[in-house]
Structure 1
Amino acid sequence: MASLNVYSTLVVLFLTCGAVMATKENDQIIKENNCETKIGLPCALEAFTGIFETWTISTKCCDELVGLGKVCHSALVKRTLENPLFKDQSPATIIAKSIQTWNNCLALIDSPSPSA
């Protein structure tokens, strides 16, 4: 439960203030694309917890994540990895999970819903 609180705090930090250690490139992408305004806090928390931990993401949040756009998604994940709190995380593993999450959400949103 403590890790959930850490992720909640980080998501709020990234969506409202930006990370102190963020690179100019990621910050510029995020700013130019208004990335921080394209996904709600609950879904941002769910998505990032899904990527940095091992949680599933709901269809609703997959829809918001896909609506965020791949460029924003990638920039936000990379900016998160720059935070010292994630120094023990493997960037290659997190980026791979990020891509997998993106692809899973894209497939879920693009697939036709079952007939009633």
Structure 2
Amino acid sequence: MESLNVYSVLVVLFLTCGAAMSTKENDQIIKENNCETKIGLPCVLEAFTSIFEIGCISNKCCGELVVLGKVCHSAFVKRTLENPLLKDLSPATIIAKSIQTWNNCLALTDSPSPSA
């Protein structure tokens, strides 16, 4: 139960920081970190589907997501959440799925490869 409370606090903090950040600031973070050059379009689409819809992300794209980095990942998610076409989505749900996708990919890329 304690981990659920810690998780809830982290989500609230993440949302608060996200709400304070404008699209312009997210765009600046993306530009300054060359985020758009660090991940291919097919993997962007997989990550988007994994976070904003129902789907999973491949091992290959998990690797690209981790190379992209947490700062770029968060900026992309926050910028996408500000899109008026997605106004009906729950930011808390999206942030939770974003964190889950990031953590799953990070764990996957940190784990040793199975031996053949």
Question: Which ranges in structure 1 are unaligned for 5 or more consecutive residues?
Answer: 1-21
* 1:53-109 CA distance string (max 9 Å, x none): 121110000000001000000000000000011000011110110000000000001
The structure whose Rg is larger is 2
User: Between the two proteins, what is the percent identity of the paired residues?
Assistant: 86
Q: Which ranges of 4 or more aligned residues in structure 1 deviate by more than 2 Å?
A: none
More helix by share: 2
User: How many residues are matched?
Assistant: 95
Q: Deviations over 1:19-45 (max 9, x none)?
A: xxx622111110100111110000000
Structure 2 counterpart of 1:11:
none
- Match of 1:29, SS? helix
| RMSD of aligned Cα (Å) | 0.9
Q: Please state how far the C-alpha of 1:110 moved relative to its aligned partner.
A: 0.5
Where in structure 2 are there 5+ consecutive unaligned residues? 1-21
Task: Identify the residue that residue 105 of structure 1 maps to in structure 2.
Answer: 105
Give how far 1:47 is off.
0.5
- Whichever residue aligns with residue 33 of structure 1, its letter is N
| Corresponding residue of 1:71 | 71
The residue type paired with residue 99 of structure 2 is I
